[in-house]
Amino acid sequence: MHPPSLDIGDSQTTIHQENELRDDAPEDSYQDLWRQFAAAANYKEFCQSWLSLQCATLKKVRSGLLLLGPPDQGPFTPAAIWPSFEYSVTHLTAAAERALRERRGLVFSGNAESGMENFPLNFPQVAFPLEVAGKIHGVIVLEVEPSSTSELQDLLRQLYWGSAWLEVMLWRADTLKLKETNERLQRAFDLLAIILEHERSTKAAMAFVTQLATKLNCDRVSLGFEESKKPKVVALSHSAQFGRQMNLLRAIEKAMSEALDQQAVIVFPQPPDALPLVTRAHAELARQHGAGHICTIPLRSAGKFCGALTLERPEGSPFDEPTRELSEVLGTLVGPIFEAKRREERWLITKAGESLTRQLQKVFGAGHLALKLVCLLLAALVVFFIVAEGDFRVTSTTSLEGTIQRAISAPFNGFIAEARVRAGDVVKPGELLCLMDDRDLKLERLKWATQKEQLSKEYGEALAKHDRPKVMISKAKIDQAEAQIALLDEQLARTKVTAPFGGIIIKGDLSQSLGAPVERGQVLFELAPLDSYRVIVEVDERDIAEIAKGQKGELRLPSLPGEVFPLVIERITSVTFAKEGRNYFRVEAQIHQASPRLRPGMAGVSKIYVDQRKLIWIWTHELIDWLRLTLWKWIP
């Protein structure tokens, strides 16, 4: 780290010190120095009186130099020189530089130990840096008469205690600056709070300029923002409606343009020490509308100038440095806030257009290589999908059914005595499925057989007596008994329910219903063959127009994911059914290569091949059709 620089000009101070004090100075001279020190009205007077008092108090001092400047930065310039205005202090600079570099008090009694061969030491020197809050604010260097080492150390110690006055001065100066800064920040935050209280930018701007004019004692404060690369006034203090003041608005806007074009704060009339700027529009505004003093501050947002703030004061009330600093701080703070509010209040289509423009600038402008590569890739993909063709297939949910599904029902009213099979079992032709309880039937048959024997005896007696009417009646009753017996024999034969053909039981489980009553015609089992299937394709009504008889497709089943079953459309029914809020057509297809692992009731997904079409159409036709229908529904 390089030591702070020194700047002592021609080694002559600008502060006058007329009285040269020596060891034999009278007491009145000390009193005068103390009075000057206590009555110091400014920074320079305080430093000069302090150095004079120190050199008069300490013994054998020949000359002294006090350098002060920005902490740890410099350049450090003479704040006081003793004993006189014309006295040269060039020979003290080397000791000052070394004390600043080493950041500690030093005593130089000879060239060898000092390392300052370029500045011969005719007399010893004492240097002490002023360090406040860890920062170097300056240095004190004294040239003294030849003395012993102990005397020089004692002088350095006294100089250390005396420097406390300078530290107090620096602390007070820093405190004053901090207080002024806090006051400016407080005023700035109060004005920012006024902006944030309002949601609309127009109301916030009006409240802001009115309050700012009141706090800074301005006749008028104007706020403008760039529109079409020209500033436009959006708010005037103490004026809710200013549309009729066209000449005033044009003059203010020209002044704002002048500040924005030069990208600098313009104060009119310009201070003597200010940079030369063009102030023609400000002079015209002052001439036409009687403004004595004008200050225009450009507003920045996101690194760009977005508007300007123009303050006007009457003659005799110039803009001092604190007011200009506060105005510049406000310009830095309120610019992004107002710009954000104005951007949020734009129409949605305006925001979308600006966002699109910004993205296009990134794509076609400099930089943003990754974005350009992504856009090129997307463009290539779009072109590929527009030009390339692919198989258009209709995807539908599909289930398997047996070609024949036989329902096996109860032959008569009765009870289940035994169940041999249940759903999922494979049976052979004639295999017993279940047994019906035949005890009631057997008792009923025994009853009718007994009645038949009794009637047969009555019939024989009637024949022996040649009782023809009784013979006819007995004959009829015997025929009735024989018919009942034949019926019961038939029912007894049906108590064994068998499979009419080989296949799989797809429905029915009587193992948990033994002894339960059943009614005649009640379905007990459903049987389907294992070697013949019918595929039922559920086609959405939006795709039914693409399906035709004879089209081919493929079927995949979750239970057999590794196998693909080719199918052919055989029949399209005109009956729809609702499912999950959609309408579907029932389309029948046939599998030509069946597998022994297939079972009725399996469900999967089938894809029916239609023809070759553009990939972009295949992926977007459903959305386009939906949009067409929706627009047609809402268009009167």
CATH code for position 460: 2.40.50.100
Report how many domains make up the chain. Answer: 4
Residue 9 — very low, low, confident or very high, per pLDDT cuts 50/70/90?
Answer: very low
- Give the span between the Cα atoms of 304 and 525, in whole angstroms: 84
Q: How many CB atoms lie within 10 A of CB 30?
A: 14
Same domain? 151 vs 204: no
CA–CA separation, 249 and 150 (whole Å):
77
What single letter denotes the amino acid at residue 574?
S
pLDDT the model gives residue 20: 40
Q: For residue 11, how many other CB atoms are within 10 A of its CB?
A: 16
Closest CA to 225 of 308, 106, 162, 168: 308
Q: Is residue 597 part of a domain?
A: yes
What SS3 state is found at 236? strand
Distance CA 225, CA 253 (A): 10
What is the amino acid identity at position 107?
A: V
- 36-62 burial string, b = 16+ CB within 10 Å, else e? bbeebeeeeebbbbbbbbbbbebebbb
Co-location of 207 and 129 in the same domain:
no
Residues 39 and 149 in one domain: yes
Q: Are 493 and 596 found together in one domain?
A: no
Is residue 620 one of the residues assigned to a domain? yes
Question: How much is the pLDDT for 15?
Answer: 32
Residue where a domain stops, chosen among 298, 315, 344: 344
- Name the residue range of residue 572's domain: 532-634
Q: With respect to residue 382, please indicate whether it lies within any of the assigned structural domains.
A: no
End-to-end CA distance of the chain: 81
Q: Is residue 11 part of a domain?
A: no
pLDDT in tens, 243-258: 556 788 888 889 999 9
**Residue-averaged pLDDT of the chain:** 80
Handedness of CA 94, 95, 97, 98 (dihedral sign): positive
**Once rounded to an integer, what is the mean pLDDT over residues 374-389?**
87
| Same domain, residue pair 40 and 158 | yes
pTM: 0.46
pLDDT tens, position by position, 32-89: 767 766 666 676 777 777 777 778 777 777 888 888 888 877 788 887 787 765 677 7
Tokens of 153: 């150390």
Helix (H) or strand (E) holding 433: strand 432-436
* Shared-domain flag, residues 209 and 301: yes
Backbone φ and ψ of 142, nearest 5°: -120, 140
**156, two tokens:** 């350095």
Condensed to tens digits (0 to 9), the pLDDT of residues 420-463 reads 888 878 888 888 888 888 788 888 888 888 888 888 888 888 88
Q: How far apart are the C-alpha atoms of 118 and 94, rounded to whole Å?
A: 9
Q: Which of 162, 197, 225 is the last residue of a domain?
A: 162
Residue 12 lies in a domain: no
d(CA 69, CA 77): 6
DSSP string for residues in 445-483:
HHHHHHHHHHHHHHHHHHHHTT-HHHHHHHHHHHHHHHH
Q: Which 3-state string (H, E, C) describes 141-164?
A: EEEECCCCHHHHHHHHHHHHHHCH
Could you read off the pLDDT of 98-151 as tens digits, one per residue? 888 888 888 877 544 444 444 456 788 888 888 877 788 888 888 887 777 777
Same domain for 537 and 514? no
CATH number of 198's domain: 3.30.450.40
Q: Judge if 143 and 249 occupy the same domain.
A: no
Mean pLDDT calculated for residue range 389-400: 89
Q: Are residues 138 and 49 in the same domain?
A: yes
pLDDT at residue number 393: 92
Q: Please report, for residues 403, 545, 556, 568, 569, the alpha-carbon distance to residue 607 in angstroms, rounded to integers and kept in the order given.
A: 21, 15, 9, 11, 11
Task: For residue 307, name the pLDDT band (cuts at 50, 70, 90).
Answer: confident
Please tell me whether residues 504 and 607 are part of one structural domain.
no
Quick check: is 368 in a domain?
A: no
Query: Which strand (E) or helix (H) includes residue 526?
Result: strand 523-528
Residue 40 in any domain: the answer is yes
| Domain membership flag for residue 372 | no
Q: Which of 209, 228, 289 lies closest to 255, judged by CA?
A: 289
Task: Please check whether residues 536 and 496 belong to one and the same domain.
Answer: no
Cis omega before residue 529 (within 30°)?
A: no
Q: Is the peptide bond before 83 cis (omega within 30 degrees of 0)?
A: yes
Q: What percent of the chain has pLDDT over 70?
A: 89
Angle at 81 between CA 79 and CA 82, to 5 degrees: 145
Same domain, 191 and 296: yes
